[in-house]
Amino acid sequence: MNMHSILNPELAFCNVPGGSKKRLLETSAELIAEKVDQVNANQIYEALIAREQLGSTGLGNGIAIPHCRIPRLKETIGCLIKLESPVDFDAVDKQPVDLLFFLLVPENTLAGHLEALRTLAEHFTNPVFCANLRAAQTDIELFEAATAFMQDKREAG
């Protein structure tokens, strides 16, 4: 998976207010909908809530990868968010979350969706990757930290 294919600079948000899991999902849906013409905030929020009801997407170590299927979406969309302060996200390790990668996929996509989730989970288990994201102070720094790490890994691999 190429991060540039699903994440663009307009969908990296640094120091987003959290509050609660529900409020964070609402805020994130609004941020994504402002940048993506194909979807609206309510549609994203409802899909994210439905997915979270199946089980938390909080992976542990302050990381969550909320994901959902969106009808009529033409391509997979990613959104990277660093919170200004951690939020309880019902993660498996019971630790609050401060880094989230939202993944919205077309309704009928399966293989690409699973590959993207696997790749994201791999990256987020790397402490250097997470430290670089947490060190970012601006939206563009956050985007560059994510994509630079993935580029370096691809070149080394």
What CATH code is carried by the domain that includes residue 150? 3.40.930.10
**What are 101's strand-pairing partners?**
80
Q: Structurally, how many domains does the chain consist of? A: 1
What is the DSSP-derived secondary structure letter of residue 9? G
Q: Return the axis-axis angle of helices 139-156 and 127-135, rounded to nearest 10°.
A: 160
| 3-class secondary-structure state, position 60 | strand
What is the DSSP-derived secondary structure letter of residue 138? S
pTM above 0.75, yes or no: yes
Domain containing residue 145: 3-156
Question: Where in the sequence numbering do the catalytic residues fall?
Answer: 67
Q: What is the pLDDT of residues 100-131, one digit of tens each?
A: 999 999 888 766 677 888 888 889 999 999 99
